[in-house]
Structures are given as C-alpha cells and as structure tokens.
Amino acid sequence: MDVRNVVILGGSGFVGRHLAARLRHEGRRVTILSRVLDAARRDKLPPDVEVREGDVYDPAFLRAAFAGTDAVVNLTGILNEHGDDGREFERVFVALTEHVIAAMHAVGVRRLLQMSALRAGEGDSHYLQARGRAEQRTRDSNLDWTLFRPSLIAGPGDGLFCRFDALLRYAPVLPIGRAEARFQPVWVGDVAEAYAHALNDAGTIGQRYDLVGPDVMTLAEIVRMTAAARGRRRLVLPLPRALGRLQAEVGEHLPGKPISRDNWRSLQLDSVSADNGLPRLGIAPTPIPPQLPRILGIA
Ligand SMILES: NC(=O)c1ccc[n+]([C@@H]2O[C@H](COP(=O)([O-])OP(=O)(O)OC[C@H]3O[C@@H](n4cnc5c(N)ncnc54)[C@H](OP(=O)(O)O)[C@@H]3O)[C@@H](O)[C@H]2O)c1
C-alpha cells in the first residue's frame, strides 16, 4: 500500500496537528480541510501542510479535495452541541461521515481512517450514540476502513490536563461530579503513531483499535496530578451524585458549556479498555505521569 497523499478532516485541531507533523516526518503529502482557519491555528500546523478551507458538508468540496489522494483521515469532532437534542452530534459525526464515504466512492479513494471514541454506541449520551452510528456507517461503507477508539488523549495543548490546569490556576477548591469516573489517558504521540502505522499496514484494514494508555486514573486523580505538577495545593471536592448532575445542569447554560448534560451522561461510563490496540500495532503505550511537565509546558 503506497500512501503518499493524505487528506485530513478535522486536522486543524489538537490531534490533527500532531498527526500532520508525524506524517510530514515520513515524507507524506498532507492536506487539511478546515471550515475556516485563522492565523493563530494555522501557526500551530507544520508549515509545509496544505490547508484547504471550505464547507466540509458540501459533497462537491469533498470530491474535489479527495480527487487524487490515497487516504482520508476523519478527525472531525465536537464535545458539546448547542442545545441538547443530539442533532449537532448527528450532523458532525454521522452525516459528515456519510458525506465522506460518498465522496470517497465518487472519486475512487478506498482508504479511510476514522476517529471514534471508547464506548461509542453505549450508554445514553447523544455524543456516544452518534459516535456509534458513525462507526456503523464506516463498517458498512465497503471501503478499506480502520476505526480508532481512544480514551481521553493527553499531550501539549490537550483538553484534559491543560484544561484543568487553567481552572486550577484561580480555583482553590474544585468541586467535580463523577470524580470516581475512570479513564485511561493515551499519549497523543501514540495516537499519531497508530494512524501512521495503519497507513503502512494493510493488515489494519477492517479493524477497530481501542487506544488507551498504561494507567487507569479517576477524574479526581487527574485533577490532583495536574495541581501537583505545578506544586499547587488545591482541594478536589468529589460531589455526590445529585450535586454532580446539578453542576452539569448549571454548566449547560453557562457560556462555553464547561460541563453539559450530555457530558454528564457520557461520564456515567468509564473510559477504559481491556483490549488496548496500541500493542497490536507494535506501539508501547507511553505512561502519562512523566509527561505532565511537557504537557503543561513547564519542562
Ligand atoms: N481529544 C480527546 O481527548 C479525544 C478523545 C476521544 C476522541 N477524540 C476525537 O478525536 C478527534 C480529534 O480530537 P481533537 O481533540 O483534535 O479535537 P479538536 O481539537 O476539537 O479538533 C477537531 C476539529 O474538528 C473540526 N470541527 C469542529 N467542529 C466542527 C463542526 N461543527 N463541523 C465540522 N468540523 C468541525 C475543527 O476543524 P475546523 O475548525 O478547522 O473546521 C477542529 O479542528 C475528534 O473526533 C474527537 O472527538 C478526541
């Protein structure tokens, strides 16, 4: 399988910029599709990556972008929607995946690496349910697909440790719901490596890989580790269930939705896996705690 040209949807984000750098390092040509990319986000991407701005929901734009490429990577994603009816998750995950699959068929591109999430299709969150339907569309696509299902992804600029770090800067006490929820954060470099490996290995076609780190951590432990890495003395206050739900209810109506009703529903499921795909891909999972200074930019 000679994959020289790769198109990445959602490639302007956290995972995308690490993956683009990884693929450029191997000498592949990378094109990122973006709805719109301001200079600050462009600056975070490798300079020799091509960016095509446009409406990724427009079939003609996708067909033109995919023509002549060898593989498509779909990293598009949101964690919150406006409202709470599942419609935006449906559009971003399911409808867009359908458009991508149709455009690939139209121009004869067969290789699709599709991002999903651990526990997709389980529980009652709109996010995980839409993810599950997108997985099913991918499996039914009759393309050469590979699915990736990470737990939370950790790395410089992430939405996990860096987000808590920002909150802990000013908050002496951090009340959190579902503090006992368990995660297995995976290193962003390992995620990029998994994608790069899949492009080289036809044996990954038709496979689904959970991507998790070596350590299981509760939400409370993640917050405490973040504070400790900065030498901050902070009190993490696990909320009883009813208060956790109330916190999500309040967060739903705050600007930027720091936590939403749907986040709360997702949080009910532990994001852990007993079937780590990284070793199957020949990748030794990177322990996260030693990476914390690097993640937070204090190393
Ligand atoms: N980060 C994690 O911990 C984690 C864990 C599990 C799964 N994932 C999944 O991994 C993928 C990459 O995650 P990430 O952390 O890199 O996300 P990210 O930084 O938020 O980037 C996602 C990209 O999706 C595009 N996007 C956002 N909203 C969109 C919309 N409404 N319609 C179309 N495109 C939209 C954006 O591109 P433009 O603005 O340039 O169009 C953005 O750069 C996502 O699918 C995410 O759900 C992430």
Domain boundaries, the chain: 5-153+186-212+272-285
For residues 6 and 31, is the Cβ–Cβ distance under 8 A?
A: yes
Q: What is the dihedral of CA 255, 261, 266, 269, to 10 degrees?
A: 130
d(CA 235, CA 247): 17
Nearest by Cα to 168 from 240, 245, 228? 228
Q: What is the pLDDT along the chain (299 residues), one digit of tens a residue?
A: 689 999 999 999 999 999 999 999 999 999 999 999 999 999 999 999 999 999 999 999 999 999 999 999 999 999 999 999 999 999 999 999 999 999 999 999 999 999 999 999 999 999 999 999 999 999 999 999 999 999 999 999 999 999 999 999 999 999 999 999 999 999 999 999 999 999 999 999 999 999 999 999 999 999 999 999 999 999 999 999 999 999 999 999 999 899 999 999 999 999 999 999 999 999 999 999 999 999 999 97
Q: Which residues touch 182 (CB under 8 Å, ≥6 apart)? A: 216, 217, 218, 270, 271, 272
At 299 the pLDDT is 72
Q: What is the CA radius of gyration of the chain?
A: 19
| Three-point CA angle 219, 267, 229, nearest 5° | 20
C-beta 128 within 6 A of ligand 1: no
Residue-level length of the chain: 299
Gap between the Cα atoms of 168 and 105, Å rounded: 48
- Residue 235 Cα distances to 160, 222, 225, 227, angstroms: 18, 13, 12, 9
Give the model's pLDDT for residue 5: 98
Question: For ligand 1, atom 11, which residue shows the shortest CA distance?
Answer: 75
* Pocket of ligand 1 contains residue 93 by CB under 6 Å: no
CA-CA distances (angstroms) from residue 94 to 12, 29, 74, 110, 235?
A: 20, 27, 12, 19, 40
Of the candidates 114, 106, 99, 112, the one whose C-alpha atom is nearest the C-alpha of residue 67 is: 106
Among protein residues, the one with the nearest Cα to ligand 1's atom 34 is 76
> Mapping DSSP to helix (H, G, I), strand (E, B) and coil, where does residue 33 land?
strand
Output the six-digit token pair for 290.
Answer: 């030693």
Structure tokens at 214: 């070596």
Cα 47–chain centre separation: 22
The CATH fold assigned to 5-153+186-212+272-285 is: Rossmann fold (3.40.50)
Ligand 1, atom 8, residue with closest C-alpha: 117
| CB of 163 shorter than 6 A to ligand 1 | no
Handedness of CA 271, 273, 279, 280 (dihedral sign): negative
The reported pLDDT for the residue numbered 2 is 86
Measured between alpha carbons, how far is residue 177 from residues 95, 102, 259, 264 in Å?
A: 32, 41, 10, 8
Contact 29, 11 (CB under 8 A): no
> How far is the C-alpha of 133 from the C-alpha of 94, rounded, in Å?
6
The pLDDT score that the predictor gives to residue 165 is 96
